[in-house]
A and B are shown apart, each in its own frame.
Chain A
Amino acid sequence: MQDTADREEMLTVEIWRGREDGALQTYRVPRRESQTVLDVVTWVQRNEEPALAYRFACRVGMCGSCAMQVNGKPRWTCRTHVSRVAENGLLRIEPLANLPRIKDLATDMAPFFEKWQGARGRHEPTRTRHEPMAPVSSESPARKAANAGIECINCAVCYAACDVVGWDENYLGPAALNRAWTLANDERDADKAGLLQAVSQSGGCHSCHSHGSCVEHCPVGLNPTAGIAGLKRMTLAALMKGEL
């Protein structure tokens, strides 16, 4: 029995405990086949640290609630296999960067969602529910551009990966601007001028350096950098026409 325990492969897992002034705490976690980082966190919470705070819901990469820093990079932990990210059997798991910490691995997501509002990330309808649905061709260039960005799961991985978010607290960030880009290309949206003004404020789309960290880290393969570049073009065209 002792022999089996000795032979069992173990991971060394460092997990952030506390708020801003917390510290990393080390745990030994049994290695399992097809184990995800979220599995590791859940094992620690169930077996070692019942008070460990972290978020998850769907466990299948749809809800966007389980993102954390794993060995320094933001990742969706439910779809991140330990085999892909462990370095010599070591995992360091911390709360998402660029967001205030609440406790352990849970961050305050309010600033992230407030910036969606700041980018006018809500749909302004052209019709009421009593009118027939607007016919939208799935083949139009604008619809294709919108479709390329609409699968965002709001996980904030891009927000944590973005250097500009870290430098400028006013910067709206890749997710909010990607959302604005999809609305700017939605022919059913009634307030294009308001949207372009929202993304042209200080900290808007013109602050993006096109580093592409958001593209590199987006777990669902979106390209917010391309959308932000599209917003820059759109705002400049509006500016030159005197519409901004």
Chain B
Amino acid sequence: MLEARLYLLQRASAMLLVPLLLAHLVMILYAIEGGLSAAEILGRTRGNLLWAAFYGLFVTAVAMHAPIGLRNILREWTGWRGRSLDFATLGFGALLLGLGLRAVLAVTV
């Protein structure tokens, strides 16, 4: 049952994103307020498996959550249905995952 699976996946990824997003926001505030330079940030993230796992999980959850929501919006507001929409959703998810993991690799490797 595709709809029930997508519903479950979107809720589960949302539950995962809540703490991850809060931690991410706190991190941004800490880095800005503390006046960390780009070099200092990279110094802490490069080679750090914990940050790689944290942001790897973050972008994976985003890549699952956002396309499912976008699929629903497109279905309701444009009338786009069927396999073509499913493939477009998958493509959007893959794009988000690719861009996200590329960014994660850039700051952790």
Chain A residues with a Cβ under 8 A of chain B: 164, 167-168, 170, 197, 200-202, 204, 206-207, 232, 235-236, 239-240, 244
Q: In the complex the two chains form, is B4's CB within 8 Å of A202's CB?
A: no
Q: In the complex the two chains form, is A236's CB within 8 Å of B2's CB?
A: no
Q: Measured between C-beta atoms, what is the minimum distance from A178 to chain B in Å?
A: 19
| Interface flag for B1 (CB, 8 Å) | yes
| Interface flag for B77 (CB, 8 Å) | yes
Residues in B75-105 with C-beta less than 8 Å from chain A: 75-77, 81
Most buried by B among A170, A235, A240: A235
Residues of B in contact, count (CB < 8 Å): 13
Most buried by A among B3, B6, B8, B77: B3
Q: In the complex the two chains form, is B76's CB within 8 Å of A206's CB?
A: no
Chain B residues lying within 8 Å of A235, measured Cβ to Cβ, are: 1, 4, 7
From known contacts A200-B1, A202-B2, A244-B1, infer whether A232 and B76 are also in contact, taking CB-CB under 8 Å: no
* 10 closest A-B pairs by CB: A167-B76, A206-B7, A200-B1, A200-B4, A206-B3, A235-B4, A239-B4, A244-B1, A236-B8, A168-B76
Q: Measured between C-beta atoms, what is the minimum distance from B99 to chain A in Å?
A: 28
Chain A residues lying within 8 Å of B72, measured Cβ to Cβ, are: 207
B contacts with A: majority SS: helix
Q: In the complex the two chains form, is B75's CB within 8 Å of A168's CB?
A: yes
User: What's the Cα separation between A240 and B8 when bound, in Å?
Assistant: 9
Chain A residues lying within 8 Å of B7, measured Cβ to Cβ, are: 206, 232, 235-236
Q: In the complex the two chains form, is B77's CB within 8 Å of A202's CB?
A: no
Q: In the complex the two chains form, is A164's CB within 8 Å of B3's CB?
A: no
Residues in B21-53 with C-beta less than 8 Å from chain A: none
Out of A167, A170, A206, which one reaches B4, CB within 8 Å?
A206
Chain B residues lying within 8 Å of A167, measured Cβ to Cβ, are: 75-77
Chain A residues lying within 8 Å of B5, measured Cβ to Cβ, are: 239
Residues in B2-24 with C-beta less than 8 Å from chain A: 2-8
Q: Measured between C-beta atoms, what is the minimum distance from A24 to chain B in Å?
A: 28
From known contacts A197-B1, A202-B3, infer whether A239 and B75 are also in contact, taking CB-CB under 8 Å: no
Q: Measured between C-beta atoms, what is the minimum distance from A175 to chain B in Å?
A: 20
